Structure formats: C-alpha cells, structure tokens
Structure 1
Amino acid sequence: MTSSTQTSGSGDINRTLELLWDTGRRPSRGPKPGLTLERIVAAAVDVADREGLGAVSMRRIATELGTGTMSLYRYVPGKGELLDLMLDRVQRVSDDPADLGDGGWRSALQALGRATLALHRRHPWLLEVNQSRPILGPNALDGMEKVLGRIRPMGLRDPELVSVIILIDGYVAGAARTQVHQEEIERTSGLTDAKFWEAHQPVLEEAMASGRYPVMASLSEESFGNSFDHFEFGLQRILDGLEALVAARNPADGPAAGAADAADTGNTADSAAPERRA
C-alpha cells in the first residue's frame, strides 16, 4: 500500500454517474468483443488488491485484459472515473437479510462494523482514498438503504441516524488502518510483531523496575498481548452508548430493542461478510 492519497470524485462527475447508473452512451467505434465495463472494473480492483492503488493505471489494466489502452477509453474516460467505479463495486451488498444480524438495530450495527472491517482487510487500498465527497452509485445507496431500514426503530432524528452510520464507519476505518499498517510493516520490514517487541524487552524491563511507571508496571502480562480483541471491545462500547441514548429518548419502551445482541462479542470480522461500506 502506498502513502499517496487519491480522491473520490476527481474525474468527470457527470460521466461517472452515467456509468454507475447506466444512463449514458454506449462504447462506440466497435468495442472489443468480450471487453465490458464490468471486466475493466473487476481487473482494476484485482490489481489494487494485490499491489495497491498506485499500481492501477489505464495502461496496466489494458495489459491485464490483453487489449490496447485506447480500447479502455471507449468504456471509461480515465482513472478518476475508474476509481469511483471501483469504490462502488466493492460496496456491493448481499441479498441475505441475515448479513445484517437478527433484526434488532444493535445487531445490524454490529454486523455493519464487522463487515466494514472485513471489507477493508480484503481491499486495503480503500484506506488510500479520500472519500469525503463520495460519488453515490447503486451499490452504495443499496447498502445505506438496508442499514437505515434496520436502525430506524432506534427512534432518533434522521440526521442522527446518518450520524450513527458515520460514527461506526469512522471507528472501523481507524481500526482497519491500524491492522493494515501492522501487516504492511511486518511484510515490508521482514520483522515480525513479536520480534519487534522482543527487542524492546530489556529496556522496558529496566524502565518498569525503576519505579517511574508504577501503574504500567502493575498491569498484567496480558494487557499488551494479542489475545484481547480491541476492535470488538471498542465496537461494543459504542453500541452500549447508543443503547443508552435510545433508552433515554424512549424511556417508556424499556431496554433498547437490540440489547440482547450485546452478548454476542465474538470476533467475526474475517468471516464471510457482505462487501459494503455505508
């Protein structure tokens, strides 16, 4: 993954929307048989998954598809528009209602958080894209529609419902960035995480014995280990806070509808989850 940031909406916005919603003109001057916009976008996603977003170019995708670069321009104007098509493609949602939990709003948000983390793990290049101005395609809107439909019973105001999705998305993006960066540095440096911290051990042991850090020295050995699921802990605490808000807004309803989901704190972020981001 490269450190450069690319921006959603950097291409011709009107042309991108035409391509996303299939409302524009078709390729002219004899398009190459077997070459489709879907194949072009899929090839671009595959290259980005394997080598990072910096490896994606019109020339490179043409090579992957065994065609000339000019053939691609008959389908998509350039890399800016291609990027937005890639973003919408990886947000394609499953038709299985169970992918958003068992029905309660908490279950839906829990599933959303886990699925979004899995999405970033499958497509680390998403972290290289500035999506502050996303181009909304059918897959993005399908995902938003499904989530909003499940969390509307929270009884919050409409802007607050949207803010709930932004809250989950922001938390997951931060957690995903940490995980992806950890994997990247281990791969590029050749030094495992365990070996990295092992090198610190003599210095840290001396520091803890100095009396300068009494609280840290009192922590158990597992405090900084890999066995504790920090992502899941944080996700559940966010949901707890939302549950308290819902209960305060609707005191007559008693415990929030999704309270039972709190017990399900297993780490399922890498399980089969729909590719989506709200």
Structure 2
Amino acid sequence: MSLLWNRTQTTKRGPRPRFTLDEIADAGIALADEQGLDAVTMHAVAERLGTTKMALYRYVPGRAELDAVMLDRALGQPPDPVAGDWQTSLAAWARLVYERYLARPWSVELVQRPHPPGPCELAWFEAGLHTLAGLPLTGGEKLDALALLSGQAISIVRQQAFASTPEHDLAAALAPVFAERSSSYPQTAAAFADAADGGREGALRFGVERIVAGLEALARDRSDPAGTPVS
C-alpha cells in the first residue's frame, strides 16, 4: 500500500537509487502496450531499465506491487468534472472511464484483480461520487452505481480486446445460420437484422443511459412527499 502512495519517492536505504517507482511503472506499461500484459515480468522490466531482476526487488517486492503501480500510473488523474446536471456529469464520468481503459485495454485485467486502490484510482472514485453527492442514496449505493458504470465500460473494452468489431463479427458469423434456420430463431434473427451499426459506442451509450435512468428513477422515488424531482 505504501508503494502506491509514495511512488514518486526513491528508497532511502543503501546506495542512491537509480529509479523512481514511476519510472519502473512506465517500463512495465511500455512492455504491456507493445507486447501485452503477459510480456510484463520482473525480469523483462528490469532488462528494459538496464538493471537486474534482483536489483528491481529493491523497489518493488514482487509482481503484485508492480501491477498496482502500473495500474495507478495508467489510470492517471481524472479530468475536471463535466459541467451540467448530475445525469450529464455522471454519464460523462463513465465515458471518461471507458476512454482511459480503452487507451490501455490490458488495464482492465489489472483493475479486476484484488488490489488496494492507489491515489489515482481513488481520485476517480472521488470524481464519480462528487456527481452523486446530492442524491438520496447511501454510500454503498453510490459505490454500487459507480461499479455498474465502470463495469459497463470494462465489458465493452474487453470485447474490443478480442475483436475490433465484435458486433459486426458476430452478425457475420451468424448470417449463414439465419439464412438457413431463421424460422428456428425468429426473434434473434430479427433483432440482428434491425440492430443499428452502433458498435461498441452504441453499446456503451445504451448501457450508461439505462443505468443513469435507473438512478434517476430511484432518486425520484425517494424525493420529498410532494414528488419534487431530485436535480
């Protein structure tokens, strides 16, 4: 945990350190960007930095700690909140989360592993919770709302990692089946035929809009007895 909160500092014992934790994280990130997360090992990171694996352990005790500083470094600080009502701001937050993960798709693997959130990840929590501050929700419900939105973003990024156009590829794969057996799957065939070519952008927008609408309905149900909407 202390590594995440002091990653720009160097260690204090022994000879003057050659690297900061941010520099080590950047080396791991570069490897993940170029070759994928499987290529990131303590040995590979050390080699990229021009040092030895044993020397690297002086800075990070193991792979779990390396993953933690890489993830926090990759997420970075959230942008300034988008102006507008809470619905607009929350939808924009979800979109920004998606864009940050999409820039480095391997980060969705790290964020879903058990880990203590670092300062940047907590800053994203803080930004999201700020948009929900005026709603009649418990703290747990607000965290669940952010989990739903970030989960939607992560699921779309994960699909993109396997195929650049997953919806189109699936429709193409099913076309011969529907051509011969559409009567066996009439609803599915009709849905694919009617689906707009929105791709992952459409799927992200649809999911975020539905989650935000659900939160809005819940807030309305918990509004004052006169039924004044929560803004």
TM-score computed with the length of structure 2 as normaliser? 0.83
Asked if 1:77 corresponds to 2:61, the answer is yes
Distance in structure 1 (CA, Å) of the matches to 2:39 and 2:23: 17
Consecutive unaligned residues of structure 1, counting only runs of 5 or more, are: 1-16, 187-191, 258-278
Matches within 5 A, 1:68-147: 68-94=52-78, 96-97=79-80, 100-129=81-110, 131=112, 133-147=114-128
The answer for the alignment partner of 1:237 in structure 2 is: 210
Measured in 2, the distance between the counterparts of 1:233 and 1:149 equals: 23
| Residue-by-residue CA offset, 1:124-175 (whole Å, 9 max, x unaligned) | 2223336363212211222222221221111212221111112212222222
Q: Does 2:168 align with 1:205?
A: no
Residues 32 and 71 in structure 1, CA contact (< 8 A), matched pair in contact too = no
**2:117 matched to 1:163?**
no
The structure 1 segments of at least 4 consecutive aligned residues displaced by more than 6 Å after TM superposition are none
Match of residue 195 from structure 2: 223
Q: What amino acid sits opposite 2:228 in the alignment? A: G
Report the counterpart of residue 254 of structure 1 in structure 2: 228
- For structure 1, which segment, 103-112 or 148-157, has the greater mean C-alpha deviation from structure 2 after superposition? 103-112
* Counterpart amino acid of residue 218 in structure 2: L
Which residue in 2 is equivalent to 1:41? 25
**Worse-matched range after superposition: 111-120 or 196-205:** 196-205
Specify which structure has the bigger relative contact order, considering alpha-carbon pairs within 8 angstroms and separated by 6 or more residues: 1
Correspondence for 1:174: 155
Structure 2 counterpart of 1:273: none
Match of 2:45 in 1: 61
Deviation at 1:214, TM superposition (A): 3.7
Q: What is the CA–CA distance in structure 2 between the aligned matches of 1:138 and 1:198, rounded to whole Å? A: 43
- Deviation for aligned residue 1:232: 0.7
Distance 2:73 2:58 in 1: 20
Cα distance, 1:72–1:31 mapped onto 2, change above 3 Å = farther
- 1:7 aligns with none
2:36 corresponds to which letter in structure 1? G
> What runs of 5+ residues in structure 2 fail to find an aligned partner?
none
Percent identity for Structure 1 against Structure 2: 31
TM-superposed CA distance for 1:226, in Å, is 4.6
Q: Is the 8 A contact 2:77 2:120 kept in 1?
A: yes
- Aligned-residue CA RMSD (Å): 2.9
Say if 1:58 and 1:22 are closer, same or farther in 2 by CA, change over 3 A. Answer: same
Counterpart CA distance in 2 for 1:69 and 1:54 is 17
Q: Summarize the Cα distance change of 1:243–1:70 in structure 2 as closer, same or farther, 3 Å threshold.
A: same
Report the alpha carbon displacement of residue 104 of structure 1 after superposing the two structures with TM. 2.5
Query: Hey, what's the Cα distance between the residues in 2 that align with 1:20 and 1:137?
Result: 5
Q: Deviations over 1:101-121 (max 9, x none)?
A: 214321222122112222221
The alpha-carbon deviation at position 25 of structure 1 amounts to 7.9
Instruction: Provide the TM-score with structure 1 as the length reference.
Output: 0.70
Cα distance in 2 for partners of 1:111, 1:42 equals 27
Structure 2 contact 10–20 (Cα < 8 Å) conserved: no
Contact in 1 for aligned 2:71/2:110 (Cα 8 Å): no
The range that moved more, 222-231 or 171-180, is 222-231
Residues 173-229 of structure 1, C-alpha deviations (whole Å, 9 max, x = no match): 22222222223xx8xxxxx98677546534421222xx3344445558442645681
Give deviations 1:231-269, integer Å, cap 9, x for gaps: 211211111111111111114463442xxxxxxxxxxxx
